[in-house]
Amino acid sequence: MQKNDIINLTISGYSSEGFGVARHEGQVVFVRNAIDGEEIAAKILKVNKNAAFAVTDSVTAPSPERVTPDCPHYPKCGGCGLRHISYAEQLRFKAQRVTQTLERIGGVAAEVEIVPSPQINGYRNKAMFEVRSGAIGFFRSGSHDVIAVGQCRLQSDTANRVLEIASEYIQKHADCPIRNIFVRTDENRAQIAVITYKRDRHTAEALTQKITEAVPGVEFSIFFGSQDGRNNVPLSAPLKHLSGLRELPVELCGFRYNTAPKAFFQVNKAQTEQMLQYITQTVSALPEYGRILDLYCGCGAITLPLSRLAESVTGAEIVPEAIAVAKQAAADAGVSNAEFLCADAGEAAEQLAVAERFDVVVTDPPRKGLLPEATAAIIKLAPKRIVYVSCDPAALARDVRLFAEAGYEFVSARAFDMFPGTVHVETVALLSLTGKTGISE
């Protein structure tokens, strides 16, 4: 095979990125925009020593699960990866991905069920729009080129209206210094942070004034920050409140969270409620759950529902803004058995291990999973159960294996489709301390 060759393939499965997988002359070929079971003609994009990468050129025998993408920006925009696949097949792929990854990397056998999302479009309550060279939208898949997007099928109506107005403004101002526009929405409220390359408060105020005037009936929370091009984390910039609400109130499982732009909050609210109900049901079915530690607790979205069950709950999170939200939510709800620590998860667990005992540790780390020091600290705490919430099956499976080596047995897992249309999937796994080290091969 060489670049630009057109070859005939039969797709026999999916990669973790949602690409179709096929074999040609003994070599694995990963094919974008292909579906399990299809016969296709594929155009070779790159050939490596161990694998080739291709894109579907034409479909000879289409799968019954193939659908016409409902977004004109797909597949150029990197925000989605599965819009050519029926929702039922997306769910099958994701459940299979978690099951196979746990077996291949984690060394455990589990037939994982997946919970569908209540919404498959318009479910996101957060967007980070990229602005480059007069275009606003999202990065092209695999690059930092911005694809101009008029509307995003995943975003709320309010976020799409903000996108439309911002696009008009940016096109009229060729020298516009805007780098990113962050939007978080909930019902009739919206939080916006305008990030510029240089400190240009005037531009931020001019744009957000147009937005607030053009979107009636929405209560806004407006922020501004600046960030140079060397840092690719827009919200790491200090943010200044310009107008409107200082926090965006979000209701979740009976608690009210006054969120700040930098505070992590799950993007799919309806599905998050289903996942939180599952976590509380899982914990309530355990023999002991009096004392619970929630590492990477964010705004306390898991911690506070668990406070209804436990004797005491402790949440740890390194982001000060998130801890402030969690403490206020607990106070507003009259929760007296919850404590929140602003600290790195590993450091918090290490400090608590000196004098504290926990029946259950809940951990919801970033996509890369637990850092080695956090894993070691949890093992030192020796909780009877670990509830591990993960947005990356490979990181989860790796950590399941590490905990198995320390005497934790994999009990169960359930997947939640938190991100329809994309390859991402959320998983909740339960581990139990048995004292028997190692895994079954």
Domain boundary (29, 50, 66) is at: 66
The domain of 59 spans 1-66
Q: Is 342 a catalytic residue?
A: no
Q: Looking at residue 144, what is its pLDDT?
A: 84
Could you say which of 71, 152, 297, 391 is catalytic? 391
| Residue range 78-94: mean pLDDT, rounded | 96
Whether 379 and 270 share a structural domain: yes
Residues 290 and 155 placed together within one structural domain of the fold: no
Report pLDDT for 436: 72
Question: What pLDDT, on the 0 to 100 scale, is given for residue 306?
Answer: 98
Check whether 229 has a pLDDT greater than 80: no
Kindly tell me if the per-residue pLDDT of 440 is higher than 60.
Answer: no
* CATH number of the domain within which 363 lies: 3.40.50.150
Average pLDDT along the chain: 94
230 vs 56, residue with greater confidence:
56
Instruction: Give the tens place of pLDDT for each residue, 292-341.
Output: 999 999 999 999 999 999 999 999 999 999 999 999 999 999 999 999 99
pLDDT above 70 (res 12):
yes
56 within some domain: yes
Domain with residue 52: its CATH number is 2.40.50.140
Q: Tell whether 371 and 329 lie within a shared domain.
A: yes
Q: Is the pLDDT of residue 428 over 70?
A: yes
Q: Both 147 and 114 in a single domain? A: no
* 375 found inside a domain: yes
- Based on the fold, state whether residues 232 and 270 are members of the same structural domain: no
Are 28 and 133 within one domain? Answer: no
> Residue 439: its pLDDT value, please?
55
Question: According to the model, what pLDDT value does residue 354 have?
Answer: 79
Highest mean pLDDT among 141-145, 264-268, 389-393: 389-393
User: Would you state the pLDDT for residue 41?
Assistant: 97
The verdict on residue 81 lying in a domain is no
Q: Give residue-wise pLDDT tens across range 157-169.
A: 999 999 999 999 9
Q: Does 441 score more than 50 pLDDT?
A: no
> What percent of the chain shows pLDDT beyond 70?
98
Residue 356 pLDDT exceeds 90: no
Whether residue 438 is contained in a domain is answered as no
Q: How many domains does the chain have?
A: 3
Nearest Cα neighbor of 237 from 209, 197, 192 is 197
Residue 99 lies in a domain: yes
When pLDDT is cut at 50, 70 and 90, the band that residue 172 belongs to is: very high
Residue 73 lies in a domain: no
Q: What average pLDDT does the segment 345-352 reach?
A: 88
Residue 198 sits in the same domain as residue 258: no
CATH code for the domain of 184: 2.40.50.1070
Please indicate, yes or no, if residue 191 is contained in any of the structural domains: yes
Same domain, 342 and 291: yes
CA 124 to chain centre: 10
Question: What's the pLDDT score for residue 178?
Answer: 94
Model confidence at 265, in pLDDT bands (50, 70, 90)? confident
Residues 284 and 429 in one domain: yes
pLDDT for the residue numbered 175: 85
- Residue 85 counted as domain residue: no
